[in-house]
Amino acid sequence: MTRRGIETLVGLFVLAGFVAIGYLALKAANLAAMTVGETYAVTARFDNIGGLKPRAPVKSAGVTVGRVASISLDGKTFQGLVTMELEKRYAFPRDTSASILTAGLLGDQYVGLNPGGEDENLAAGDTIKMTQSAVVLENLIGQMLYNRAAEGGAEAKK
Amino acid sequence: MSFADLLPRLGRWAIGYLFRLGHAAFFLVDLLKNVPASLRRFHLVAAQIHAIGNYSVVIIAASGLAVGFVLGLQGYYTLSRYGASESLGLLVALSLVRELGPVVTALLFAGRAGTSLTAEIGLMKAGEQLAAMELMAIDPKQRVLAPRLLGGIIAMPLLAAMFSAVGIFGGYVVGVLMIGIDPGQFWSQMQGGVDVWDDVGNGIIKSLVFGVTCTFVALLEGYEANATPEGVAQATTRTVVISSLAVLMLDFVLTAVMFSTPR
């Protein structure tokens, strides 16, 4: 075979390989779903972030409006410091509250934003003041058991 | 045989083993030094990609499709017990991209391309073609071996990506078209769970490592083969055995490094 013929076939092979990689990145993985466009960072402190992970979605009314950029522990307040990248085209009032919610009963956790009513909007670097921690199943069960025990004790006294 | 006899024998075995290992390391460094030179004459590398890569596409695609089918069926069987059959897409994609794509491709590569490399180099050596090149002041490592190494390193990740892509299509055919899982769920679960860098990227790194391993083992065995028909035959066998074992063990090490901590 001529050198040109071989080179054409190799070109085809390499092209097919790159198409396969692109297919894996775009169709199988989440490259296309990642927020492109410009974003602005907002932080929020939570008493307990539960199982929230970086790159978890930030949703408002169920619509994904951004992603969690990083999670760290605030050394002063000992709260979880969550940095979120919100898409520029979505603006939220300054008194918006953030809560950590779970998709489904045992699904992945995400940050839910509940817009407030103030006129001024959150700007880059702002902190969301009102937050609601993740629901930790163990605490919930513990609380339930405690309540049951308290009820039982009250009935016994009668 | 006495204990005093056994000890030197063990020592000889260990020294011989270490010697071969060190020899192989020097050989690898020698080859890598010659890679830039073969980049300058890329048509040699292109011919090798053609021989190694293009001719492997059919076997890779067919195996990928079959593996995708099986993953779809078995995955559905297990997942449907937990009422999570929609996660089939995620299961198929993750297992292919992370493990099966790179590993099975490398095993097929060792059988399909590694053997032919070993036999080719071994026969060149048996026919004293390599010695003739040296007499003409042509370094056979630069002219013959380095382009093959580079060709193998380039071809392997592309083949592995094709394997995974075809496998995911196979899983789609079985899961969505035959069993009837919701296609939207199939793709969205997959896209939600597969990460571009952590999963696809690490899979590509894996296949790059396997590409170096398989091609290098094939070339080394061919170059070191006894210049007889039996020698070439034994070297070809060793190529398949050593590269398969190396790929499987390396895969464990790489998986432990890459994926041991769940995100």
Instruction: Work out the number of other CB atoms within 10 angstroms of the CB of residue A43.
Output: 17
Whether A23 sits inside 8 A of B165 (CB atoms) is: yes
Mean pLDDT calculated for residue range A104-114: 77
Cβ of B168 within 8 Å of Cβ of A28? The answer is yes
Contact B50/A24, CB-based, under 8 Å? no
Structure tokens at A31: 């490259």
Q: Where is A157: in which H helix or E strand? A: helix A137-157
Is the pLDDT at A32 greater than 90? The verdict is: no
ipTM, interface predicted TM-score of the complex: 0.81
Residue A96 pLDDT greater than 70, yes or no: yes
Choose the closest CB to A28 out of B57, B97, B159. Answer: B97
The reply to whether residue B161 touches residue A21, judged by beta carbons under 8 angstroms, is: yes
Q: Is the pLDDT of residue B262 over 80?
A: no
Which chain A residue is nearest to residue B262, measuring alpha carbons?
A53
Q: What is the pLDDT of residues B56-85, one digit of tens each?
A: 999 999 999 999 999 999 999 998 888 788
Tell me the shortest Cα–Cα distance from B180 to chain A, in angstroms: 19
Q: How much is the pLDDT for A91?
A: 86
**Chain B residues touching chain A at CB-CB below 8 Å:** 43, 46-47, 49-50, 53-54, 57, 93, 97, 154-155, 157-159, 161-162, 164-166, 168, 187, 190-192, 194-196, 199-200, 204, 263
Above 60 in pLDDT, residue A33? no
pLDDT, average across residues B91-115 = 94
Residue B261: what pLDDT?
61
By C-alpha distance, the chain A residue nearest B47 is: A6
pLDDT in tens, B178-220: 998 888 788 888 887 888 888 899 999 999 999 999 999 999 9
Q: How far is CA A139 from CA A50, A80, A135, A142, A145, in A?
A: 11, 18, 8, 5, 10
pLDDT of A67:
83
Residue of A10, A24, A28 lying closest to B54 (CB–CB)? A10
d(CA B216, CA B239): 10
Residue A155 has pLDDT above 90, yes or no: no
Q: Which of B194, B206, B261 to mutate to test the interface with A (most CBs of A within 10 A)?
A: B194
Quote the strand ranges of chain A, DSSP E. 39-46, 57-60, 63-73, 80-87, 97-102, 109-114, 127-128, 131-132
Min CA distance, A153 vs chain B (Å)? 40
Whether residue B263 is predicted with pLDDT greater than 60 in this model: the reply is no
Mutation target vs B (from A4, A10, A12, A26; most B CBs, 10 A cutoff): A10
Distance from CA of B229 to the nearest CA of A (A): 29
Contact A53 B263 (CB under 8 A): yes
The alpha-carbon gap from B188 to the nearest alpha carbon of chain A, in Å, equals 9
Residue B14 banded pLDDT, cuts 50, 70, 90: very high
Distance CA B179, CA B174 (A): 6
Residue A108 pLDDT class (50, 70, 90 cuts):
confident
What does the pLDDT average to over A6-34? Answer: 83
Cβ separation B158–A18 shorter than 8 A: yes
pLDDT at A105: 63
- More confident position, A122 or B99: B99
Residue B1: per-residue pLDDT: 64
Over the Cα atoms of chain A, what is R_g?
24
pLDDT at A106: 61
Q: What is the pLDDT of residue A3?
A: 77
Please give the pLDDT value at position A34. 56
Residues of chain A with pLDDT > 70, as a percent, come to 91
Average pLDDT over residues A150-156: 78
Higher pLDDT pick, B120 / A7: B120
Tell if the CB–CB gap between B191 and A3 is shorter than 8 Å: no
| Structure confidence at residue A56 as a pLDDT band (50, 70, 90) | confident
- Comparing alpha-carbon positions, the chain B residue that sits nearest to A53 is B263
For the cut 90, the answer to whether the pLDDT of residue B234 exceeds it is: yes
**A17 contacts B199? CB cut-off 8 A:** no
3-state SS of chain B is CCHHHHHHHHHHHHHHHHHHHHHHHHHHHHHHHHHHHHHHCHHHHHHHHHHHCHHHHHHHHHHHHHHHHHHHHHHHHHHHHCCCHHHHHHHHHHHHHHHHHHHHHHHHHHHHHHHHHHHHHHHHHHCCHHHHHHHCCCCHHHHHHHHHHHHHHHHHHHHHHHHHHHHHHHHHHHHHHHHCCCHHHHHHHHHHHCCHHHHHHHHHHHHHHHHHHHHHHHHHHHHHCCCCHHHHHHHHHHHHHHHHHHHHHHHHHHHHHHHCCCC
Nearest to A24 among B50, B97, B192 (CB): B97
Would you call A10 and B168 a contact, using CB atoms and an 8 Å cutoff? Answer: no
Q: What is the pLDDT of residues B133-184, one digit of tens each?
A: 999 998 888 889 999 999 999 999 999 999 999 999 999 999 999 998 888 7
| Cross-chain residue pair B46–A10, CB shorter than 8 Å | yes
Mean pLDDT of A7-32: 84
pLDDT at A157 (0 to 100): 67
Per-residue pLDDT at A158? 63
Q: Which range among A18-32, A40-54, B162-176 shows the weakest confidence by mean pLDDT?
A: A18-32
- pLDDT average, residue stretch B84-100: 90
| Burial (CB count within 10 angstroms: exposed 0-12, middle 13-18, buried 19+), residue A102 | middle
Q: Is A102 helix (H, G, I), strand (E, B) or coil?
A: strand
B191–A28 C-beta distance less than 8 A: yes
What's the mean pLDDT when you consider all of chain A?
83
Residues in chain A closer than 8 A to B164 (CB atoms):
20, 24, 28
